[in-house]
Structure 1
Amino acid sequence: MKTPSLIAAALALAAAGAQAADLVVTSPDGRIALRIADDASSFGISRGGETVIAPSPLGLELDGQPAFGLLKLESRQDSKVDQVVPLVATKAASARDHYVGTTLAFREAGSGRRLFIDARAYDDGVAFRYRMASTDPVKLRSERTTFVPAGDPACLVTPVDGGHEAQFERQRISQLKADAAFDVPVVCATPSGRTHYAITQAHLQGYTGASFRREGEALRLQLSAEPGRPGPAFVSTGGLTTAWRAVMMADRAGDLIASQLVGNLNPAPDHDKFGDFSWVQPGKTSWDWWSGPLEGVKPDLAAYKRFIDFAAESGFRYHLIDAGWSHGAGPCCEALPSTDIARAADGIDMPALVRYAADKGVGLLLWVHWQHLAPRIDEVLDTYARWGIKGIKVDFMNRDDQDMVAFYQRVAEATAKRHLLLDFHGAYVPAGLQRTYPNFITQEGVLGAEWNKMDRRVTPRHNLMLPYTRMLTGPMDYTPGGFRNATPQTFEIRAVMPLTQTTRGQALAMYVVYDSPLQMVSDDPSNYRGEAGFDFIKRVPTAWDETRFIQGEPGQDIVLARRSGKTWYLGAMTSDEARTEKVSLGFLPPGRWKATVWQDGEGVRQVQRSERRVTRQDVLSLPLSAAGGAAVILEPAP
């Protein structure tokens, strides 16, 4: 690692280069500018005339080759793109991909080596990546890419852990631990507060993941290396195309939620290879693990049928059979050599169970450990397709190095070919692979509700951090739906029939606020039948035509609106403080609307349901209890 003095010198050189000459890419609306020095040494970002990222180093740390020396601009090729991309099963029916782009070709004095930088400026952010056109392998120790946020802001950050399951906290960049790694996204605001932004990555295919380490008041990119492998963090088969380094930007923190930037930086689906993805069906799924023991549910045909029956009577599209179903499986989640995931446990006729579920209109999803899947992907998935399984949940990767990124793509492609849905757990933060493979319908990489079974970290404040941080990058399988609600004061850790630290109203609101086209209804069937608010869960969609942020602040509260067809759904959540959200309905089209409201009752598990007529001129008042929430359906009135 460089010493602080060397980093300061590098930043000073970057600033001098930026002052000497900049190559500027400006967003279509003219508000955002990405500046790259004409020697490729640095970049900077501004929005509305205000600095967002101060002059910051660019470059690659090559392994086994000399570092790039003096680079001079050889050519610049500009482009403009404005297209509407239809989407499948996500937070909107389409995405506008609208940017001004450039490819900058730099040549090294003396050697003639060339480095390309692709850059794009959108109305909601910027992105850049490096390329080297060569048939020879390229080895990288890391990148020199560094972000110097203007004004040493207090940002929302989370430390890196294997499963990317940690809390977000607000800290100034200069106060971050220098020996710690921090995950994407990092979410900040400029000193004036006029621009909120998130630093993240996109399109990892063919590359490796990354995290950040603090150096002074800067965030230095660090590539993820394969555990236990000495040498470079990344090795290409020939040439180099890195991931995109992206900065999402908006007026308010919540306005970043609707951004399509991460997806737009990924390739569209290959319809020539896979056909269309209209077979991808979003929906809710019952789930047998959350309400059961930590060691998993033992293979039990009667138990499986009980959950299938519940899904059928509730109108859910799927049931997820979690760990323990396969032949030779252990108590839960170990990758035992005895386990055969192409065979069901003794006494379980999987094809017959699939037919039982299908007769009731329910599709089955199966849990697998990635180490069992990786050596025999084609054999296992062919078996599942023959059985009639609708999708898989792959777990415990807990890495984002080059080999694991390649594994994600292999599984996404293999499941797409067989019309299987894909859900990754023990997963890294999304980087847009869902855009290329729409059957990759959700993933974890979040400190979600399952942790209520094990500790107290899934607090109301944590729940109100997630929409403004982790959810910006893509769908998150938080696994909501806990109906054994408690307060933070009365909460206790239970592995079986666990509690939550929030009200029933917040449990409902999560189905609107949290983005997951495959959405778990996580609790036991016995905890739903006849319970207040379950009528809303049965009705709420999981994929949307439009998403709009209404109001709120990270860690405190949120009101989010999503549209399905002509019907709007509102989710409102608050953290530790009770509050009343005054929600302007100006986003509605003209006309009269029927508002059905589920809001917190007197008890933590009570919900008040009411109906009223409203118009777009009205303001809806939603009283929320501490750790509470509300859900609203707005549909055209006769």
Structure 2
Amino acid sequence: MNGYSFVRQAWGYAALFFGIIGAAGCSVQSAVPAPIEGTQVTVSSPDSNLTARFYQVNDKEGRSLYYEVTYKGRTVIRPSVLDIRLDNHLSENAMALPVDTFTRWTADLVVKDIRRSSQDTSWKPVAGERALVRDHYNGATVSMQKANNPLYRMDVQLRVYNEGVAIRYYFPEHEKGSYYRVVAEHTEFALPAGTTAFHALWGQAPYRELPLRDWPGEAERPLTLKLPGGLYACLAEAQLVDYARTKFTLSPDKRNTVVTSIYTPADLISPFGTPWRVIMVADRPGALMENDFLLLDLNAPSRIKDTGWIKPGKIIRVMIQNTAEAKAHIDFAVKHRLQYILFDWKWYGPSFTFNSDATKVAIPDFDLPAIIQYGKERGVGVWLYVNQQALLAQSDSLFSVYRQWGVKGVKFGFVQVGSHRWTTWMEDMFKKAAENHIMINVHDDWRPTGEQRTWPNLMTAEGIRGNEEMPDATHNTILPFTRYIAGAADYTICYYDPRIKTTHAHQLALAAIYYSPLQTLYWYDSPALSDDEPELEFWDHIPVTWDETRVLQGEPGEHISVARRKGAEWFVGTITNNSARTLQLSFDFLPPGQSFLAKIYTDDPAVPTKTKVKVTEQRVNASTVMPIVLPASGGHAMWLKPDQVFKTWQVYLRPYRNYSCHNLYSPAPCALISGAKVPENVPVVLPVHRSVILQGPVMPSDDSVTGMAAR
């Protein structure tokens, strides 16, 4: 057992032990009272595996809202309180409305109506991990009204998908136009004893697997959970548009209970809905990653009608910002099939000041118009970094200027996140950029909640501890099961930097494992560092958007194997943590009856390159099981292309126009059974009056070939 596995198991035993002790202690949680008649509604997922139940109870504070969740009959969320706190007294006094006096705003809500719903539609993402996304759920809306102030109404909206449960608070329009001030939200998630969480304090923090006690602070979302008995769950936030960011904290008085904590109050006008609180559940951790489209489903459809200008791609940063280096990077991009180059901060002067003008170049020997034109001629676009100071001061004109210049995208730097103000500001930036055909990459602590569906010009975001911080391999194996559930992330993959703590095959495989429709490669690198190692062809040809994604195997903190398909080709990445291991990889994800040629990239210290990556080939099919031998912190990558449809043909060459011989062409290498070769697109001369047997995709050059039949 490696060190990480031992720590995880120890925490699991400790959490279970303290959960049992706590259940027997003096502060046992009291039983939930019986539901109030007429307030219950139970909704099951379309496949009947997930069930969510909502109800009200009478307690010492009045009426409380509760819900619970089961998966295949097993408890995922024990009875948990739904609680949102409002303080509208300023608006109420100003408008001569009755002042609500309840400490807990929901305490006198009375259920007036329960409506059921269902939906089964599909939509195509502009860029994504799958060609088609299904939006399939059963739902219910519980409409309530305050007993002491009937002008106030609130709905609890509930959706149950096969992939998870989503709940939010919705406030219909107030008849008198009262403003709403949300001062707190305490949505509970009461979990089974023994649950552990993959905890990170902020967007770029390291992860630790912790029991549900003694956390060092709030947990960033999404929050992935390991439940007793092998189930996995993930608590997430979706459609954060007009609200404050939510993190998760431990309940101060209820064991094994996680509670939402909003960053700041939110001042709102009805009608409005809070972000969705999402509980994803799966039998295996990889299914959480495969089902990350659930957050997209919970967001509004695209607000960009014409998306033809949105072009996903791979990007390299220009480390030394001058014209010569920029052109060298463009040449490198062309050679290695990269679509963009990036000029990072300081190109327009000091970033952390309002005195810098992001429409003027502030460094010498940097001819930006010439660089953009050179890139345009060679099919390479330019992205620019802009810090928040310039975004705030110049956003009304900045994007239109960049569009005139021919800039393709903007990387936002050091933007404020969390508060209601900065959440709505970010939404406005996406809109302004889209109006000017500018793509966006948000850096530093911001994390998406499914906004990419509404604003597909949002290509990626940081909010991740990536290669800038040089994390170890164990950290890298946690990310797909945690941060990447929120959506695309800009890990900024390095390759040549000596500070990397993993092998080069590990780095290579990350491009298949980590999803980002703007994939940064060669971070901290430059063309001068590259010796055009053979394995770079994997990055050269790998797409950044996909038709299908499969997590073949994996465990957070241990290892992961991901297969992604674009068209007929597959790219597969496997990485391990800080420990060596051998995995058995099944190719049963391939279509049956079809052979694929796999190019395989593995760590091998005997290879005479500085990267020590070996390139081999092997034919595979759906029945293949391949041993994957991984050194500590190692990786394994594969590029699978369908084999040519090699058939065996019997060909009779008859006389034609008095020719004594004829030419045969093959669109791909082909073999004569006799042992001769038919090279690609090179004619082979064969005499007439003879029958030959060929194997491969053969094309005759004229009509002299007869009797062609598959054998």
What TM-score, normalized by structure 1, do the two folds share?
A: 0.88
The yes-or-no answer on 1:127 pairing with 2:166 is yes
The equivalent position to 1:280 in structure 2, one of 310, 331, 344, is 310
The amino acid of 1:512's aligned partner reads A
Quick one: structure 1 residues 9 and 97, their matched pair in 2 at CA, closer, same or farther if it must change by over 3 Å?
Answer: farther
The amino acid of 1:505's aligned partner reads A
| 1:14 CA drift (Å) | 5.0
- What SS class does the counterpart of residue 587 from structure 1 fall into? coil
| 1:111 CA drift (Å) | 2.1
Residues 385 and 411 of structure 2 are in contact (CA less than 8 Å); yes or no, is this contact kept in structure 1? yes
The yes-or-no answer on 1:236 pairing with 2:264 is no
- What SS class does the counterpart of residue 386 from structure 2 fall into? strand
| 1:23 CA drift (Å) | 1.6
The equivalent position to 1:192 in structure 2, one of 229, 232, 237, is 229
| 1:189 CA drift (Å) | 2.7
| 1:19 CA drift (Å) | 11
Alignment partner, residue 55 of structure 1: 79
The yes-or-no answer on 1:464 pairing with 2:477 is yes
The equivalent position to 2:392 in structure 1, one of 369, 374, 397, is 374
Alignment partner, residue 358 of structure 2: 341
- What SS class does the counterpart of residue 225 from structure 2 fall into? strand
Q: Deviations over 1:358-382 (max 9, x none)?
A: 1111000000001211232130001
Structure 1 Cα separation of the partners of residues 121 and 154 of structure 2: 29
Quick one: structure 1 residues 629 and 529, their matched pair in 2 at CA, closer, same or farther if it must change by over 3 Å?
Answer: same
The yes-or-no answer on 1:214 pairing with 2:241 is no
The yes-or-no answer on 1:516 pairing with 2:516 is yes
The equivalent position to 2:134 in structure 1, one of 63, 77, 96, is 96
Alignment partner, residue 313 of structure 1: 335
Quick one: structure 1 residues 14 and 354, their matched pair in 2 at CA, closer, same or farther if it must change by over 3 Å?
Answer: farther
Residues 14 and 56 of structure 1 are in contact (CA less than 8 Å); yes or no, is this contact kept in structure 2? no
Quick one: structure 1 residues 247 and 10, their matched pair in 2 at CA, closer, same or farther if it must change by over 3 Å?
Answer: farther
Alignment partner, residue 381 of structure 2: 363
The amino acid of 1:83's aligned partner reads T
The amino acid of 2:603's aligned partner reads D
- What SS class does the counterpart of residue 414 from structure 1 fall into? helix
The equivalent position to 1:144 in structure 2, one of 186, 190, 203, is 186
Quick one: structure 1 residues 10 and 306, their matched pair in 2 at CA, closer, same or farther if it must change by over 3 Å?
Answer: farther
Structure 2 Cα separation of the partners of residues 99 and 221 of structure 1: 24
What aligned pairs does 1:14-29 form with structure 2 within 5 A after superposition?
A: 14=32, 16-17=34-35, 22-29=40-47
Alignment partner, residue 503 of structure 1: 503
| 1:201 CA drift (Å) | 0.3
- What SS class does the counterpart of residue 377 from structure 1 fall into? helix
The amino acid of 2:74's aligned partner reads E
Residues 206 and 406 of structure 1 are in contact (CA less than 8 Å); yes or no, is this contact kept in structure 2? yes
Alignment partner, residue 252 of structure 1: 284
Structure 1 Cα separation of the partners of residues 354 and 149 of structure 2: 52
| 1:529 CA drift (Å) | 3.0
- What SS class does the counterpart of residue 358 from structure 2 fall into? strand
Q: Deviations over 1:458-484 (max 9, x none)?
A: 111111110111011100100113223
Residues 186 and 198 of structure 1 are in contact (CA less than 8 Å); yes or no, is this contact kept in structure 2? yes
Alignment partner, residue 205 of structure 1: 241
The amino acid of 2:200's aligned partner reads T
Structure 1 Cα separation of the partners of residues 374 and 126 of structure 2: 28
Structure 2 Cα separation of the partners of residues 69 and 622 of structure 1: 58
Structure 2 Cα separation of the partners of residues 71 and 544 of structure 1: 46
| 1:427 CA drift (Å) | 3.4
The yes-or-no answer on 1:106 pairing with 2:128 is no
Alignment partner, residue 599 of structure 1: 602
Unaligned runs of 5+ in 2: 1-21, 58-63, 90-99, 645-711
Q: Please report the RMSD computed on the Cα atoms of aligned residues, expressed in angstroms.
A: 2.1
| 1:339 CA drift (Å) | 0.7
Q: Deviations over 1:169-211 (max 9, x none)?
A: 111112424xx11111111133211x21100100001111111
- What SS class does the counterpart of residue 423 from structure 2 fall into? helix
Q: Comparing both chains, which one has the higher relative contact order based on Cα–Cα distances under 8 Å and sequence gaps of 6 or more?
A: 1
Quick one: structure 1 residues 150 and 35, their matched pair in 2 at CA, closer, same or farther if it must change by over 3 Å?
Answer: same
The yes-or-no answer on 1:586 pairing with 2:584 is no
Q: Deviations over 1:534-573 (max 9, x none)?
A: 1211111111111001001111100110000011111000
Alignment partner, residue 453 of structure 2: 435
Quick one: structure 1 residues 630 and 344, their matched pair in 2 at CA, closer, same or farther if it must change by over 3 Å?
Answer: same
- What SS class does the counterpart of residue 310 from structure 2 fall into? coil
Structure 2 Cα separation of the partners of residues 52 and 593 of structure 1: 41
Structure 2 Cα separation of the partners of residues 528 and 309 of structure 1: 13
The yes-or-no answer on 1:155 pairing with 2:192 is no
The yes-or-no answer on 1:566 pairing with 2:598 is no
| 1:24 CA drift (Å) | 1.1
The equivalent position to 1:475 in structure 2, one of 473, 488, 492, is 488
Structure 2 Cα separation of the partners of residues 119 and 446 of structure 1: 30
Alignment partner, residue 685 of structure 2: none
Structure 2 Cα separation of the partners of residues 471 and 16 of structure 1: 40
What aligned pairs does 1:288-303 form with structure 2 within 5 A after superposition?
A: 288-289=318-319, 297=320, 299-303=321-325
Structure 2 Cα separation of the partners of residues 165 and 417 of structure 1: 30
Q: Deviations over 1:480-520 (max 9, x none)?
A: 13223xxxxxxxxxxxxx52000011011000000111011
Unaligned runs of 5+ in 1: 226-232, 290-296, 453-457, 485-497
The amino acid of 1:343's aligned partner reads K
| 1:398 CA drift (Å) | 4.3
What aligned pairs does 1:391-470 form with structure 2 within 5 A after superposition?
A: 391-452=409-470, 458-470=471-483
Quick one: structure 1 residues 349 and 605, their matched pair in 2 at CA, closer, same or farther if it must change by over 3 Å?
Answer: closer
Structure 1 Cα separation of the partners of residues 363 and 210 of structure 2: 53
Alignment partner, residue 625 of structure 1: 631
The yes-or-no answer on 1:325 pairing with 2:363 is no
Quick one: structure 1 residues 529 and 440, their matched pair in 2 at CA, closer, same or farther if it must change by over 3 Å?
Answer: same
Equivalent residues, number: 585
Residues 492 and 519 of structure 2 are in contact (CA less than 8 Å); yes or no, is this contact kept in structure 1? yes
